[in-house]
Amino acid sequence: MNEGKILNIIGASIILVFVLFVLGCGGGSNDKSSEPEDNSTSSLALNLKYKTAFDYGYSVTKVTSKITKGEFSKEIDLTIDGANQTATGNYDKLGIGEYSIKIKVYNGETQIAEGTGTAIIGKNKIVSVEIAIEYFTGALTINFYLDDGRARIFGLKSCGSSSPGYCGAGIVKGSLAPTNLFSFRADRSDFVEIGSLTLDNNNIDADALAISPTYGLLAFKLEKSGFTTISSTLISIDYKTAIASIIGSKLDGFDIRGAVFDRSEKLWVLDATGNQLVNIDPTTGAVIGTPVTLMLNGSIHDLSDVSDIAVTTDDVFVVTDSSGFYSLDISSGILVLVNSDSGQGLTGATFSNFASQNAIFTYEVNGFDDIYRYEIYFSSNSTTVHENIINQFNSGRGDLASLLSFSETQP
């Protein structure tokens, strides 16, 4: 996958945004800066869509953007793309902190719309902001779809029991195709079923979802002999179409059931067959180094295939396995039970920048295929986020993943 891939998340009816690394696109020549920022590689990428203005008879000939933080300010002209009805621009070498953004849209010399928003820039990060012109009560308005608690969480649900037309007759164990991709916002709104994962136009069984600014949305295709997973292969997923592509060679003998990227964009996965933590090269799908055996109370932990791995914004690793939440030391493989919820099958787990620091979102498959949220360090009581997701078939396994911006404090 190309470095710096822009993920412009499309919701059911409006454009959404979250923090991503993106390739910068150049702004225009109107560049006015009151003072330089620091020498970091942080950037702010703006993408304004003005189709609505065009549909209501407005021409867009110029778009200006001005960002401000304290005494610093900088103004640029965005680059107009008439064919796609967009205007884009990029601010480079920004210091960390919160910036105000002011957008002005012109038809010739006449200003036809104006709007303001904010963006938070982290160290050595590139933030992408979606902006849309909309028409409301007889006038054009500008809306910023920013990181205000509505970031997307992605998930997978595979088929796992008698579902005529999907998994066939009878009870199956573990997971089978199809595996459906879905997403929702961290504030619980806007659940979207994107579609069944396909590879060469065929439905596939997949698990271990992970997302990275550089590498995009990844997972593992699973191959079975009967109900036993015999190999796992890294795949990339187009989040808009659910179409998958193979990355590298398959890993024979691995049953990859959980995956996550850390702050350095290292890909860590859980192998249920070997009861181990594995570092995977996200560009080749190959194992890096020696896998680390998972240990609990001095013994090898028998990891189930109802499991996942997640990481907090402070780069603390957490493993869910059936009903348990465990902290994980990735160097030693030592697990420590943090919390549990008896009877649950927590097959997917992720944290989000847009929830409290200790809140973990989970996908439960023993009961009604619900998405839950737990405050893992405080209570085993769950809050239901979405009930009985993708109810045309019963769940096998699944996963959750969210793109994180890590805190600046190193662990």
CATH topology of domain 152-401: Tachylectin-2; Chain A (2.115.10)
Instruction: Report the C-alpha gap between 15 and 1 in whole angstroms.
Output: 23
Looking at 1.10.3210.10, 2.60.40.420, 2.60.40.1120, 2.170.190.11, the CATH number of the domain 32-145 comes to 2.60.40.1120
Which pLDDT value is given to residue 221? 98
Instruction: Report the C-alpha gap between 11 and 70 in whole angstroms.
Output: 34
| Positions of CATH 2.115.10.20 in the chain | 152-401
Is the pLDDT confidence value at 219 over 90? yes
| Positions of CATH 2.60.40.1120 in the chain | 32-145
Which pLDDT value is given to residue 335? 98
Q: What is the DSSP letter of 163?
A: B
Percent of the chain topping pLDDT 90: 52
Instruction: Report the C-alpha gap between 26 and 79 in whole angstroms.
Output: 8
Which pLDDT value is given to residue 115? 87
pLDDT in tens, 97-137: 889 999 999 999 999 989 888 888 877 777 778 787 766 55
* Cis check: omega of the bond before 282, within 30 degrees of 0: no
Within 296-369, residue ranges assigned H as helices are none
Residue pointed to by tokens 């189709």: 51
Question: Across-strand partners of 299?
Answer: 296
Q: How many other C-beta atoms can be found within 10 angstroms of the C-beta atom of residue 330?
A: 16
Which pLDDT value is given to residue 243? 96
Which pLDDT value is given to residue 327? 96
Instruction: Report the C-alpha gap between 22 and 44 in whole angstroms.
Output: 9
Query: Does residue 314 come out as left (phi exceeding 0), alpha (psi in the -120 to 50 range) or beta?
Result: alpha
Instruction: Return mean pLDDT, the chain.
Output: 82
pLDDT in tens, 1-55: 333 322 222 222 222 232 222 222 333 434 445 544 455 668 888 988 888 788 7
Tokens of residue 92, six digits: 């480079």
Which pLDDT value is given to residue 8? 29
Average pLDDT over residues 305-309: 97
Name the band, by pLDDT with cuts 50, 70 and 90, for residue 162.
low
Which pLDDT value is given to residue 323? 95
Average pLDDT over residues 295-302: 98
Tokens of residue 389, six digits: 């997701």
Which pLDDT value is given to residue 268? 98
Query: Does residue 103 come out as left (phi exceeding 0), alpha (psi in the -120 to 50 range) or beta?
Result: beta
Which pLDDT value is given to residue 40? 62
Is the pLDDT confidence value at 239 over 80? yes
State how far the alpha carbon of 10 is from the alpha carbons of 83, 107, 130, 273, 362, in Å: 20, 28, 10, 36, 23
pLDDT in tens, 348-406: 999 987 777 788 999 999 888 999 999 876 677 888 999 999 998 888 899 999 987 66
Which pLDDT value is given to residue 137? 55
Which pLDDT value is given to residue 152? 81
Which pLDDT value is given to residue 47? 87
Which pLDDT value is given to residue 39? 57
Which pLDDT value is given to residue 201? 96
Query: CB-based contacts of 389: which residues, under 8 Å, 6+ apart?
Result: 155, 157, 182, 191, 193, 363, 369, 370, 371
State how far the alpha carbon of 94 is from the alpha carbons of 18, 68, 97, 257, 353, in Å: 18, 11, 9, 38, 21
Question: Across-strand partners of 136?
Answer: 139
Which pLDDT value is given to residue 147? 41
Is the pLDDT confidence value at 92 over 50? yes
Name the band, by pLDDT with cuts 50, 70 and 90, for residue 163.
low
CB 108 within 8 A of CB 97: no
Is the pLDDT confidence value at 173 over 80? no
